[in-house]
């Protein structure tokens, strides 16, 4: 079997993963606080893989065609490999809801929420509500933290207002201040679900964000650009179809070679 088919298969695998990411972006167009993702690709030469101590060239060979002897692939050309993912943290569009418990962030900040086990997460989703203890809660059920790492309680029997700096004022008194934090390197954040992120580098904690603005009665939509994602999906699908044709051509050439050898 010619080595070119392995290169084509690595490309097909990469494009399949790319389609999955795009499809997930499109599925979350209406998800509050969602951040779109993309994949980063690079080529990997067999000689580079050999330097890394990888037998047979590409680490993913056994994954692409398990059970085969890949020792003959040492002279192979470029493979396609996924080197990582990238999350777009740009601002999403704002949606007016007039719900006093809905808040949106304009800027680079994140809300801080805490689960029952005490684990902290970060989110742009400000679709809050109150639990049975009258604590301000994220849509996931996690409690929203104030600037002192304490849960926030609101008495709904009295009118309240959430100020642009996150202060919650009731009866003219400041009851609490919603924590807003920012990360110098947002790439250290990893998606958890429910539009929440985990800080993968606890040794580099976030710092207070004094520049972002809290807007009450509003929510931040997903930052997915549907037109851009659909255009990308069409392009990736076309590349995948071309790769499929290449794979078929390789199989056809192999069959012809076998027939000639008989």
Residues 6+ apart with CB under 8 A from 38: 21, 85, 86, 88
DSSP per residue, 211-252: S-EEEETEEEPP---HHHHHHHHHHHHHHHHHHHHHHHHHHH
* C-alpha–C-alpha distance, residues 71 and 93, integer Å: 52
Residue 239: CB atoms within 10 Å: 16
Question: What is the pTM for the complete model shown?
Answer: 0.78
Task: Give Cα 178 to chain centroid, integer Å.
Answer: 25
pLDDT tens, per residue, the chain with 262 residues = 455 666 777 778 888 889 999 999 999 999 999 999 998 866 555 444 444 444 433 344 334 444 444 444 444 456 667 777 899 999 999 999 999 999 999 999 999 999 999 999 999 999 999 999 999 999 999 999 999 999 999 998 899 999 999 999 998 899 999 999 999 999 999 999 999 999 999 999 999 999 999 999 999 999 999 999 999 999 989 988 888 887 777 667 767 666 776 6
Decide if 9 contacts 247 (C-beta within 8 A). Answer: yes
Domain ranges of the chain: 4-89+225-261, 94-220
């Amino acid at each position: 079997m010619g080595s070119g088919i392995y290169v084509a298969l690595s490309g097909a695998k990469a494009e399949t993963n790319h389609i999955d990411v795009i499809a997930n972006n499109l599925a979350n167009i209406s998800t509050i606080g969602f951040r779109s993702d993309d994949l980063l690709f690079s080529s990997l030469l067999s000689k580079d893989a050999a330097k890394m101590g990888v037998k047979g060239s590409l680490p993913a060979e056994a994954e692409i065609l398990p059970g085969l002897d890949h020792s003959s692939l040492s002279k192979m050309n470029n493979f396609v490999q996924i080197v990582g993912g990238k999350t777009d943290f740009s601002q999403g569009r704002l949606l007016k809801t007039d719900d006093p418990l809905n808040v949106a962030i304009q800027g680079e900040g994140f809300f801080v929420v805490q689960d029952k086990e005490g684990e902290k997460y970060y989110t742009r989703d400000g679709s809050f509500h109150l639990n049975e203890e009258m604590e301000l809660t994220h849509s996931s059920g996690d409690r929203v933290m104030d600037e002192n790492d304490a849960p926030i309680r609101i008495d709904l029997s009295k009118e309240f207002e959430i100020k642009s700096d996150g202060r919650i004022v009731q009866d003219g008194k400041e009851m609490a201040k919603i924590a807003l934090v920012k990360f110098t390197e947002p790439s250290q954040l990893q998606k958890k679900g429910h539009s929440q992120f985990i800080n993968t580098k606890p040794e580099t904690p976030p710092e207070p964000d004094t520049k972002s603005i809290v807007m009450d009665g509003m929510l931040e939509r997903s930052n997915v650009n549907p037109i851009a994602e659909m255009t990308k999906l069409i392009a990736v699908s076309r590349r995948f179809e071309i790769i499929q044709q290449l794979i078929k051509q390789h199989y056809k050439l192999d069959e012809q070679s076998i027939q000639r050898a008989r």
